[in-house]
Each structure stands twice: as structure tokens, then as C-alpha cells.
């Protein structure tokens, strides 16, 4: 009687990756908030060019629509009506459901009219002479509508939420799967050991009443193959169980990590922020 058994164990690690833009890192968020606070300070002391540069730097780090509104406000204050209109439009494009949409649309109309009547500032390509302190003759630099406290600047930057934190969940799941594969391999090894012993008992029973050398050799060969495969299954199973336990332990440690605490600069000082998740 001939028999062949093949034992294998495979541990597969699966990760999902989507073709999406990389989310802002913690460093990007910190730099964006710092640049936002700096731009706010420049805006408050009428240093509009510096404010625009800081707000643009913040937007490059984290593309929050609010920053486009602030850039437009700074251009409006320096009487660069064309650029102000462009960034107001960008703001509405990125935040189509903005609560102040009607007011911003009115600003765009005013800035378009102003851009036609007034020359652009000298710090932009194709610009003419720098604008005077007062509106140019015939220009319509909009006055503050009744009830509106001047060209206000949005001073609360709301960044997109950070990506969810996997507190070791993937490691724990991988550990359980790997350990399960190891247990299966150990069980297969046990079955192969039983088969090897059964073949030995069959030889003894057959030879008690008479057996041929060919039958003994065949049974011995099958028994040796079963023992070899059992040894391989035991080794693979033990390794998989060990690796699975290690992965699970590491995952459990990450799940119990302390909350991350960060200091965030604001326009009026600083803010301590703590973040954690429950599983």
C-alpha cells in the first residue's frame, strides 16, 4: 500500500493601499498651524504681503479652504482686486457649501469691478505703477456694508481630520491568523505521526503470518515519508504559532499606548490637544 502526503503552511500578510493623495502628516499639520498663526499676526498689523506668503505656505502643507479666503482678504486689503477675486473664487470652489457664500459672491462682483477700474499692483507680472493710498480715480474699492465689521479675517483654522490610528489592530489580527495556521500545521503533524505508527503496526501484523520483502520495503518507505512530513509540519506549526503570538503581543502593546498630546499655536497663544481612540 502506497500513500503520499504533502503538508504546507502559508502565512499571507494582506495590506490595502488606495491610489489617493498622501494625507498630511503630523509635521505638515504643525507647520500649517504655525504658518497660519504667523499670517494672522502679519494681517493684523497690515503687512499683507507677508500675510499672503504665510497663508499660502500653510495651504501648501494642509489645503484647508479657509486659507484661500484669508489670502483673498489680504489681497483685498492691499487693493489687488484681480487676485482677491481669483482667491475668493478658489475658496467657493473648494467650499461650495460655505455659510458665507452669498457674501463672498458679492465680494467677487465688487472685486471684478474694481479690477477693471484700478491698475494691478507693481508686485505682479504685467503690473503698472503702484496704486495710491486712496482709490484711483473712477475705481470702486468697496466700502464695508452696514453691519459688517470691516474686511474680517477668519482666525480659526479647521484642518481636515487626521487619518484613523490603527492601534495595533492589524497586528493583532495578523497574529491570530498566523497562530491559527500554526495550530493547523501542528494538527497535520499529529495525523502524520499516527499514520507512520499505523504503517509500522500493519507491517508487524502482516509479517506475523508471512510477508514479502517488497511489501516490507514499501511500507517502510511510506512510514519514513510520513515521519519526515510530520517533522516538517511540527516545525512549521511551531514557528507559525510563535510568530502569531509575537504579533498579537506587539499589537496589544500598541493598543494600550498613551494618547498623543500636541501643542498647537493659535492666534492668541497656544492650545494643548490630546488624541486617542477606543477599540
Residues 6+ apart with CB under 8 A from 163: 23
How many angstroms separate the CA atoms of 50 and 216, rounded? 93
Give the cell for residue 40. 494672522
How many angstroms separate the CA atoms of 226 and 3, rounded? 9
pLDDT computed for residue 83 by the predictor: 94
How many angstroms separate the CA atoms of 72 and 105, rounded? 12
For 161-200, write each residue's pLDDT tens digit: 666 666 677 878 888 899 889 888 889 888 888 877 776 6
How many angstroms separate the CA atoms of 8 and 143, rounded? 79
pLDDT confidence band for 272 (50 / 70 / 90): low
For 141-168, write each residue's pLDDT tens digit: 344 444 444 456 776 666 666 666 666 7
How many angstroms separate the CA atoms of 42 and 78, rounded? 13
Which residue has better confidence, 249 or 4? Answer: 249
pLDDT computed for residue 3 by the predictor: 42
Tell which residue, 138, 140, 116, 120, has the closest CA to residue 129.
120
Tell which residue, 13, 64, 71, has the closest CA to residue 43.
71
The helix-helix angle for 101-117 and 81-94 (nearest 10°) equals: 150
Question: What share of the chain in percent tops pLDDT 90?
Answer: 31
Highest mean predicted confidence (pLDDT) among 54-58, 173-177, 229-233: 54-58
Q: Are 42 and 51 in contact (CB under 8 A)?
A: yes
For 61-112, write each residue's pLDDT tens digit: 999 999 999 999 999 999 999 999 999 999 999 999 989 999 999 999 999 9
- For the chain, where are the E strands, in sequence order? 260-266, 269-275
How many angstroms separate the CA atoms of 207 and 87, rounded? 96
Residue 3 DSSP one-character state:
-
As a CATH number, domain 26-117 is: 1.25.40.10
How many angstroms separate the CA atoms of 75 and 81, rounded? 7
Domain residue spans of the chain: 26-117, 174-243
Amino acid at each position: 500500500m502506497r500513500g503520499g502526503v504533502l503538508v504546507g503552511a502559508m502565512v499571507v500578510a494582506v495590506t490595502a493601499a488606495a491610489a489617493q493623495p498622501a494625507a498630511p502628516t503630523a509635521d505638515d499639520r504643525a507647520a500649517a498651524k504655525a504658518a497660519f498663526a504667523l499670517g494672522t499676526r502679519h494681517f493684523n498689523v497690515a503687512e499683507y504681503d507677508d500675510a499672503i506668503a504665510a497663508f499660502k505656505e500653510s495651504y501648501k502643507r494642509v489645503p484647508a479652504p479657509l486659507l484661500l479666503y484669508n489670502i483673498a482678504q489680504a489681497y483685498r486689503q492691499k487693493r489687488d482686486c484681480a487676485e482677491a477675486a481669483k482667491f475668493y473664487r478658489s475658496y467657493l470652489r473648494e467650499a461650495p457649501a460655505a455659510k458665507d457664500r452669498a457674501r463672498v459672491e458679492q465680494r467677487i462682483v465688487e472685486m471684478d469691478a474694481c479690477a477693471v477700474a484700478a491698475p494691478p499692483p507693481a508686485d505682479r507680472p504685467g503690473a503698472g505703477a503702484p496704486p495710491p493710498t486712496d482709490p484711483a480715480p473712477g475705481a470702486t474699492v468697496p466700502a464695508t456694508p452696514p453691519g459688517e465689521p470691516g474686511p474680517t479675517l477668519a482666525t480659526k483654522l479647521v484642518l481636515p481630520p487626521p487619518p484613523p490610528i490603527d492601534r495595533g489592530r492589524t497586528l493583532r489580527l495578523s497574529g491570530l491568523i498566523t497562530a491559527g495556521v500554526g495550530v493547523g500545521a501542528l494538527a497535520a503533524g499529529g495525523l502524520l505521526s499516527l499514520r507512520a505508527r499505523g504503517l509500522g503496526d500493519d507491517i508487524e501484523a502482516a509479517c506475523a503470518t508471512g510477508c514479502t520483502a517488497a511489501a516490507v520495503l514499501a511500507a517502510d518507505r511510506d512510514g519514513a515519508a510520513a515521519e519526515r512530513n510530520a517533522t516538517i509540519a511540527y516545525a512549521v506549526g511551531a514557528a507559525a504559532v510563535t510568530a502569531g503570538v509575537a504579533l498579537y503581543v506587539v499589537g496589544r502593546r500598541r493598543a494600550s499606548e498613551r494618547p498623543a498630546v500636541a501643542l498647537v499655536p493659535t492666534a492668541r497663544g497656544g492650545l494643548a490637544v490630546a488624541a486617542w481612540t477606543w477599540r
